[in-house]
Chains A and B, each alone.
Chain A
Amino acid sequence: MKAMLIDSTRCVGCRACQVACKEWNELKAEETTFFAGKGYQNPRDLAADTWTLITYNEVEVNNRFDWVFGKLQCFHCNVPGCVSACPVHALEKTEAGPVIYHAGICLGCRFCQLACPFKVPRFEWNKVIPEITKCTMCADRVAAGLEPACAKVCPTDAIVFGDRDELIHEAESRIKSNPTTYVHHIFGKDEAGGTCVMHISNVPFEEIGFDTKIPMEPIASKVEHAMKPLPYVLTGLGLVLGGVSWVVNRKKEISKESESGKEG
């Protein structure tokens, strides 16, 4: 299974990745003013037309000031919550790794947005027939034996693409060789049951824009627990409430009949 490893110690915040993503996926530029977040951040957030975003963070690490950059995008979970939540199977985890979506099938119901622990999928608010969009890890490029556009253009190899197991090994080796540089954790190795976009960093991941309160098991497992009984619950509830309603109505009819009976 393919994955990406993003190393914040190599990222220089140049945003060649943001531009390459828009170029490859033919996404429109958003209208922006000044900067919409800390540092040079633009646009404000991931959006229908913005599938990856660099954050700019002035942080203190080991009593030393540093400017550290984070790359936000879909994590391409191994067992995606969005895939489980989607009622029409518009989202799909491919064998190669990327979590893709079939735009034509998407209902626009936005359950995936609720299910995603990283809050990634975005909605096309501007369109008449809106759909969900997100990073596809350039599944089309990957299928053709190429690396994702962002990995391709990254000038410092902050983004590397390869086999998930090899990348985990690489990440572990970098942390081992530079124990005082890195936070001793690979973000995405186990989060949400493991993801195909993993990060290593010289500062805590919250400091570069990530929500680290992510459960270590697949969201899907939680979603499934909730979703599986749903048809039974709904049907059961329907039957029970229907039954109650019948009983109540029956009682009303009976009392009406007895009242009219009294008068007649």
Chain B
Amino acid sequence: MTNHWIDMINTDVAMVMGSNMVENHPIASKWLTRAKEKGAVIINCDPRYTRTSSFADIYCKFRSGTDIAFVNGMINYALQNGLININYVLNYTNASFIISEKYSFNDGLFSGYDPAKRSYDKTNWAYELDGGGIPRRDLTLQHPRCIYQLMKKHFQRYDIDTVCKITGAPRDTYEKVCRTFTSTWAPNRVATWLYAMGTTQHTHGTQNIRTYAILQLLMGNVGLAGGGINALRGESNVQGATDMGLLFHLLPGYLASPTKAEQTLEDYKKTYTPKTNDPKSANWWGNYPKYIVSLLKAWYGDDATAQNDFCFNYVPKRSADYSHISLFEAMYEGKLKGLFLFGQNPAVGGPNTNKEIAALEKLEWMVAVDIFETDTSVFWKRPGVNPADNQTEVFLLPACSSVEKEGSVVNSGRWAQWRYKAVEPVGESVSDLWIVDALHKSIKKEYASSGVFPEPIVKLNWNYGNGDEIDRHKEPDVHLVAREVNGSFHKDKDVMILKDLKSFKKGDQAPSFAALQDDGSTSCGSWIYCGSYPGHTPEKNNMARRIKEDAINGIGLYPQWAWCWPVNRRIIYNRASCDINGKPFDPKRWVVRWNETAGKWEGDVPDGPWPPKDKYPFIMKPDGHAWLFAANLNDGPLPEHYEPLESPVKNIMSSQEINPAIKLWHKTNPEGNPVGDAKRYPIIGTTYRVSEHWQAGAMTRNIPWLVELVPDVFVEMGVDLSRQKNIANGDRVIIETARGKMEAYALVTRRFEPFQLNGKIVHEIGIIWHFGYNGLARGDSANVLTAHIGDANTMIPEYKAFLCDVYKKNGGAA
């Protein structure tokens, strides 16, 4: 999130789209309730009327997979009607920047497309630079190639009629949504955008988010209280996981993981450190070298020196995409021998379950680390198979739950909250920390007698209190881990932090990432966490703070409750909440303001300590401006509607049916990846969650009180469709896609209505995906239906839109 959970109380309009927030983040509904009490309007857009819809003030239905058309239409509405915060747009976004002559857009394709590679040469979308290497701008916004004009042209195609034809949204409701949302262009009105998997789990998921960013920037809502782009994270500590670099393409702190192309540290620095010639651009990522070197020092300690590139050659160099789908495709081809699963249950949660389980069967060994036996950990003895037929050696390491161990958990608002152990672990279960610590020590021991290239493992700087000992009763010290993540000085050093000279001694914890160095004098396990634990004792653990006092601006920041990254800044990009003179756009809900007499900012930690006129607000961009036009994405600098891989209708925007930049696994790896067509599978299928169950159900399907509430997997379908198919509420039905079929109870409801699309009526049904063959409550997994197809930038699977058919169990196909 750019903002944080409590901040929702400050909003005038909350747009819940791509999320069923009240269903899946029910506790957070508390904040929306408070916002409503203060007069906020809640808008919810969803193919189905959900628990969130019942909570909202305005509900608008639209077809799964057409989010871009929906929001592009809202952007067009704002642009056509002049409902933008022009002050903000002009000064803080790249609206005025001029784009290269090489840029064009035609029939669904941007310039620079290579159809054989299904990728773009993004240099075609670059800024036009002046003689000094600084992007040229037209502050009158008239230049035909300035981003503002390019956008007007691009979004003009998303008029209300076209949008309603694509999305099936009812016209009057859609107009109401546009009107209500764009009313927040005014400086004293603000909207927040709340989204989750409904947004991301599409082949164009990244561009879905881009539409929100563009609209919010036009409204001037980014950096303001009650505003922002707010991802409601799913798993309890997924924010912490991504912060610590658990995604395949990242190192901790969102640094890039090096690829084969970066063989030396210099290569790496050159590739990833952005440059700017504009003195007003803070270009904070220009500090990249400090963060990568400090990370390497944390990993390899004294062994990492300037002479050996700080052990950069020990870091694996990626040569491929190792995302979930890619891994399972490789596994299916027998290319992976072993698999570690830490709290993951792909037999239920992964797409194209049938293929993924077939892939698991090819493994030589699997280690499942979980608090319960999961469907995946017992895949070898699942119903219908003979364990003797499977050669995989499966280990189950019992992990203890979050209340049985100490450590931090990070919420969607980036707040790292320290937690204590409440009870001793049950039975033989141990913490993940103990398991990873023991794993490292065991592997290190093996390297003493064999193995190739042991240094990256054996030279790791690794001592969390127990030396080389593996002892079931000795827990590694999580405080040592946290302090290493915070970072420290490896030698005495004087450092200039802003205008102050600070002296540090060897061994001092680093106070913030402004102190980190690129010469090997500092180490830091994740630069964004620098400042979380700036001292040696638990009293200095900022993540453990629980002070209930709010900041002087009274907008719910609670700056001394736990600690958030970066540097405890609660609302990021908050510099943009003030005009160029440092005066808040909305004095009623000010986040930061420039105090002329004191010569500094007050309120939240400012996003940029510099005086108002010194630097542009969006410091993480090399040009210091928020990107309405984003030339770094694989599928284009502006969002464009494409149909999901499986769609019941043709794309009426262009002849590009699907996202031109997605990898087509069904073409490269056809086995097990059939694609369905609308003739055989005319109904849109989607998957989602219920409040009563959690993710793949390993925990909740084993709790009797929750099983009592939702004991069986069910599919929701509309009244008209159920009549057509002669299906009554409670009937057993089969849902089928090109990839597989599953059985479920039918729940007939008015909450799913058919869509009127450009003269055609299309139905949509939805299945909850929490079920699997293992546990107290069992049922078919909805993911037998979904496909190995992912987003153009992230490869996140398109769980949210596919084609299927549904029919009564004992009646055959209807």
Chain A residues with a Cβ under 8 A of chain B: 10, 12-16, 18-19, 22-23, 28-35, 39-40, 42-43, 58, 65-69, 155-157
Which chain A residues border B22 with CB–CB below 8 Å? 12, 14, 156
- Main secondary structure on A side of the interface with B: loop
A14–B749 Cα gap in the complex (Å)? 18
The answer to whether A19 and B745 have CB atoms under 8 Å apart is no
The answer to whether A15 and B691 have CB atoms under 8 Å apart is yes
The smallest beta-carbon distance between B183 and chain A, in angstroms, is: 21
The smallest beta-carbon distance between B805 and chain A, in angstroms, is: 21
A116–B701 Cα gap in the complex (Å)? 36
A13–B53 Cα gap in the complex (Å)? 12
The answer to whether B26 and A12 have CB atoms under 8 Å apart is yes
Which chain A residues border B49 with CB–CB below 8 Å? 65, 67
The smallest beta-carbon distance between B747 and chain A, in angstroms, is: 7
Known: A14-B26, A31-B711, A32-B708. 12 other contacts (CB 8 A): A29-B705, A32-B707, A32-B711, A33-B711, A34-B712, A34-B745, A35-B745, A39-B749, A58-B750, A155-B27, A155-B28, A156-B26
The list of the 9 closest CB pairs from A to B, nearest first, reads A29-B704, A29-B708, A155-B26, A67-B54, A34-B745, A14-B691, A12-B51, A12-B22, A14-B26
The smallest beta-carbon distance between A177 and chain B, in angstroms, is: 10
Proximity bits, B725-755, A CB within 8 Å = 1, else 0: 0000010000000000000010101110000
B671-721 residues with Cβ-Cβ distance < 8 A to A are 690-692, 704-712, 714
Given A12-B22, A14-B51, A58-B751: A156 touches B33 (CB 8 Å cut-off):
yes
Residue of B nearest to A18 (CB): B709
Which chain B residues border A39 with CB–CB below 8 Å? 747, 749
The smallest beta-carbon distance between A154 and chain B, in angstroms, is: 9
Residue of A nearest to B746 (CB): A34
The smallest beta-carbon distance between B709 and chain A, in angstroms, is: 5
A65–B730 Cα gap in the complex (Å)? 22
Which chain A residues border B26 with CB–CB below 8 Å? 12, 14, 16, 155-156
Which chain A residues border B730 with CB–CB below 8 Å? 34-35
- Main secondary structure on B side of the interface with A: helix
Residue of B nearest to A20 (CB): B705
The smallest beta-carbon distance between B542 and chain A, in angstroms, is: 28
Which chain B residues border A28 with CB–CB below 8 Å? 704
Which chain A residues border B52 with CB–CB below 8 Å? 12
The answer to whether A33 and B712 have CB atoms under 8 Å apart is yes
The answer to whether B708 and A156 have CB atoms under 8 Å apart is no
A156–B691 Cα gap in the complex (Å)? 14
Given A15-B692, A58-B749, A67-B53: A29 touches B33 (CB 8 Å cut-off):
no
The answer to whether B30 and A156 have CB atoms under 8 Å apart is yes
The smallest beta-carbon distance between A238 and chain B, in angstroms, is: 49
A1–B52 Cα gap in the complex (Å)? 34
Residue of A nearest to B27 (CB): A155
The answer to whether B709 and A42 have CB atoms under 8 Å apart is yes
A19's partner among B690, B705, B749, B751 (CB-CB below 8 A) is B705
A157–B55 Cα gap in the complex (Å)? 12
Which chain B residues border A10 with CB–CB below 8 Å? 33, 55
A34–B27 Cα gap in the complex (Å)? 26
Which chain A residues border B91 with CB–CB below 8 Å? none
Which chain B residues border A15 with CB–CB below 8 Å? 691-692, 709
Residue with the highest number of chain A CB atoms closer than 10 Å, among B22, B29, B691, B708: B708
Which chain A residues border B30 with CB–CB below 8 Å? 155-157
Which chain B residues border A31 with CB–CB below 8 Å? 708, 711
Residue of B nearest to A35 (CB): B747
Chain B residues with a Cβ under 8 A of chain A: 22-23, 26-30, 33, 49, 51-55, 690-692, 704-712, 714, 730, 745, 747, 749-751
Which chain A residues border B751 with CB–CB below 8 Å? 58, 67
Which chain B residues border A65 with CB–CB below 8 Å? 49, 750
A65–B59 Cα gap in the complex (Å)? 10
Which chain A residues border B690 with CB–CB below 8 Å? 40
The smallest beta-carbon distance between A20 and chain B, in angstroms, is: 9
A29–B709 Cα gap in the complex (Å)? 9
The answer to whether A29 and B707 have CB atoms under 8 Å apart is yes
A67–B751 Cα gap in the complex (Å)? 8
Which chain A residues border B691 with CB–CB below 8 Å? 13-16
The smallest beta-carbon distance between B758 and chain A, in angstroms, is: 24
Residue of B nearest to A21 (CB): B705
Residue of B nearest to A64 (CB): B59
A68–B54 Cα gap in the complex (Å)? 7
A157–B710 Cα gap in the complex (Å)? 23
The answer to whether A22 and B29 have CB atoms under 8 Å apart is no
The answer to whether B54 and A155 have CB atoms under 8 Å apart is no
B714's partner among A13, A34, A155, A157 (CB-CB below 8 A) is A34
B51's partner among A13, A22, A30, A43 (CB-CB below 8 A) is A13
Which chain A residues border B708 with CB–CB below 8 Å? 29-32, 42-43
A23's partner among B55, B692, B705 (CB-CB below 8 A) is B705
A209–B714 Cα gap in the complex (Å)? 24
Residue with the highest number of chain A CB atoms closer than 10 Å, among B23, B26, B30, B704: B26
Which chain B residues border A66 with CB–CB below 8 Å? 54
A157–B54 Cα gap in the complex (Å)? 15
20 contacts between A and B (CB under 8 A): A12-B29, A12-B55, A13-B51, A18-B709, A19-B706, A22-B705, A23-B705, A29-B707, A34-B711, A34-B730, A34-B745, A35-B730, A40-B690, A40-B710, A42-B710, A58-B749, A58-B750, A67-B49, A155-B29, A156-B22
Residue of B nearest to A30 (CB): B708
Residue of A nearest to B22 (CB): A12
Residue with the highest number of chain A CB atoms closer than 10 Å, among B22, B51, B52, B747: B51
Residue with the highest number of chain B CB atoms closer than 10 Å, among A18, A34, A39: A34
Residue with the highest number of chain A CB atoms closer than 10 Å, among B30, B55, B690, B712: B55
A109–B712 Cα gap in the complex (Å)? 37
The smallest beta-carbon distance between B491 and chain A, in angstroms, is: 51
A16–B730 Cα gap in the complex (Å)? 24
A229–B220 Cα gap in the complex (Å)? 76
A125–B673 Cα gap in the complex (Å)? 53
A130–B722 Cα gap in the complex (Å)? 43
The answer to whether A42 and B711 have CB atoms under 8 Å apart is yes
Which chain B residues border A42 with CB–CB below 8 Å? 708-711
The smallest beta-carbon distance between A27 and chain B, in angstroms, is: 9
A76–B392 Cα gap in the complex (Å)? 59
The smallest beta-carbon distance between B711 and chain A, in angstroms, is: 5
Which chain A residues border B706 with CB–CB below 8 Å? 19
A156–B55 Cα gap in the complex (Å)? 10
The answer to whether B54 and A12 have CB atoms under 8 Å apart is yes
The smallest beta-carbon distance between B697 and chain A, in angstroms, is: 16
Residue with the highest number of chain B CB atoms closer than 10 Å, among A23, A29, A69: A29
A40's partner among B33, B704, B709, B750 (CB-CB below 8 A) is B709
Which chain A residues border B54 with CB–CB below 8 Å? 12-13, 66-69
Which chain A residues border B714 with CB–CB below 8 Å? 34-35
Which chain A residues border B710 with CB–CB below 8 Å? 40, 42
A10–B53 Cα gap in the complex (Å)? 12
A28–B26 Cα gap in the complex (Å)? 24
Residue of A nearest to B692 (CB): A15
Residue of A nearest to B25 (CB): A155
The smallest beta-carbon distance between B279 and chain A, in angstroms, is: 49
Residue of B nearest to A202 (CB): B54
A40–B23 Cα gap in the complex (Å)? 13
Which chain B residues border A40 with CB–CB below 8 Å? 690, 692, 709-710
Which chain A residues border B51 with CB–CB below 8 Å? 12-14, 67
The smallest beta-carbon distance between B114 and chain A, in angstroms, is: 48
Residue of B nearest to A60 (CB): B750
Which chain B residues border A23 with CB–CB below 8 Å? 705
A42–B749 Cα gap in the complex (Å)? 17
A35–B708 Cα gap in the complex (Å)? 9
Which chain B residues border A13 with CB–CB below 8 Å? 51, 54, 691
Which chain B residues border A156 with CB–CB below 8 Å? 22, 26, 29-30, 33, 55
A63–B708 Cα gap in the complex (Å)? 34
Which chain A residues border B27 with CB–CB below 8 Å? 155
